[in-house]
Structure 1
Amino acid sequence: MTLLDDDNEPRRQVGALPFRLGRDGKPKILLVTSRESRRWVIPKGWPMKGRKPFQAAAREAYEEAGLRGAVGKRPIGHYLYQKRLKNLDAVLCQVKVFPLKVRKQLKHFPEEHQRELRWFTPAEAAEAVSEPGLAAIIRAACRT
Structure 2
Amino acid sequence: MTNVLEIAWQEVVRPLFFRPKRVQVAALCLRDGTDGHEVLMITSRGTGRWIVPKGWPIEGLNGPETALQEAWEEAGVKDAHAQKSPIGRYNYDKVLSNGTSEPVETQVYKINVSELSDEYPEASQRQRQWMSAGEAANLVREPQLKAILLSL
The answer, yes or no, to whether TM exceeds 0.5 is yes
Identify which of 96, 118, 121 aligns with 1:85: 96
Identify which of 17, 26, 43 aligns with 2:36: 26
In structure 2, the partner of 1:106 is 117
Report the Cα distance in structure 2 between the residues aligned to 1:70 and 1:97, rounded to whole angstroms.
Answer: 14
Report the Cα distance in structure 1 between the residues aligned to 2:100 and 2:22, rounded to whole angstroms.
Answer: 14
Report the Cα distance in structure 1 between the residues aligned to 2:67 and 2:128, rounded to whole angstroms.
Answer: 17
Cα deviation digits, residues 95-136 of structure 1 (max 9, x gap): 000000001010100000111111111110100111111010
Q: Which residue identity is paired with 2:46?
A: E
Report the Cα distance in structure 2 between the residues aligned to 1:115 and 1:82, rounded to whole angstroms.
Answer: 21
Q: Which residue identity is paired with 1:35?
A: R
Say which SS state the counterpart of residue 122 (structure 2) adopts: coil
Alpha-carbon deviation of 1:90? 0.8
Alignment of 1:1-144 (within 5 A): 8-22=19-33, 24=34, 26-68=36-78, 69-140=80-151, 142=152
Q: Which residue identity is paired with 2:103?
A: L
Larger radius of gyration: 2
Cα deviation digits, residues 36-95 of structure 1 (max 9, x gap): 111111000000110001100110000000003001110000000111111111111100
Point out the structure with the larger helix share. Answer: 2
Report the Cα distance in structure 1 between the residues aligned to 2:115 and 2:27, rounded to whole angstroms.
Answer: 15
- How many pairs align? 137
TM-score of the pair, normalised by structure 1:
0.90
Report the Cα distance in structure 1 between the residues aligned to 2:35 and 2:25, rounded to whole angstroms.
Answer: 28
Quote the RMSD (CA, aligned, Å).
1.6
TM-score of the pair, normalised by structure 2:
0.86
Report the Cα distance in structure 1 between the residues aligned to 2:53 and 2:108, rounded to whole angstroms.
Answer: 10
Q: Which runs of 5+ in 1 are unaligned?
A: none
